[in-house]
Structure 1
């Protein structure tokens, strides 16, 4: 499957290499959902390949795609907790 450049993989999952919490927008994701550090992005981002999940979460908006991703993996409550706490760091957002 070819990447649609929707940006959901830069928002929904946590990304330890970037200290990015679950469900929060990567600070390197531009307004048009492109990576502003693409040439210097971490290996985890380089290794990510579009797959069946991308098709399962298709939706008209990034917010809807992210919600569907989090629901698919049962992470909606955790992501909401992170969002409400305002944690900008994955390390601070993770319990103990």
Structure 2
């Protein structure tokens, strides 16, 4: 656990956040696959990723959607975040 008492969840490499969210800095619209999301579901520009990407932290939701298809994951994230 972190000092604040929160459990840190490492990236599950599901790619959902790289599809579901709008990333204005690189012209990616919500629901579109990011052009920098590699086949192994990691970021090809991780060290130079935009601020919007840097701000995202994996959480319990990532664990809950880990068994869904990519389309189902995106729909869940879009419904929750209203995007």
Query: Cα deviations across residues 38-73 of structure 1 (Å, max 9, x unaligned)?
Result: 121112212321113323433332222112211223
Gaps of 5+ in 1: 76-96
User: Could you tell me which residue of structure 1 aligns to residue 57 of structure 2?
Assistant: 49
* 1:67 equivalenced with 2:75 (yes/no): yes
Q: What is the count of residue pairs matched by the alignment?
A: 75
* Superposition TM-score, scaled by structure 1 size: 0.65
Point out where structure 2 has 5 or more consecutive residues left out of the alignment.
1-8
> RMSD across aligned C-alpha pairs, in angstroms?
1.7
Between Structure 1 and Structure 2, the one with more helix by share is 1
- Counterpart Cα distance in 1 of 2:82 and 2:64: 14
Give the alignment's TM-score, normalised by structure 2: 0.74
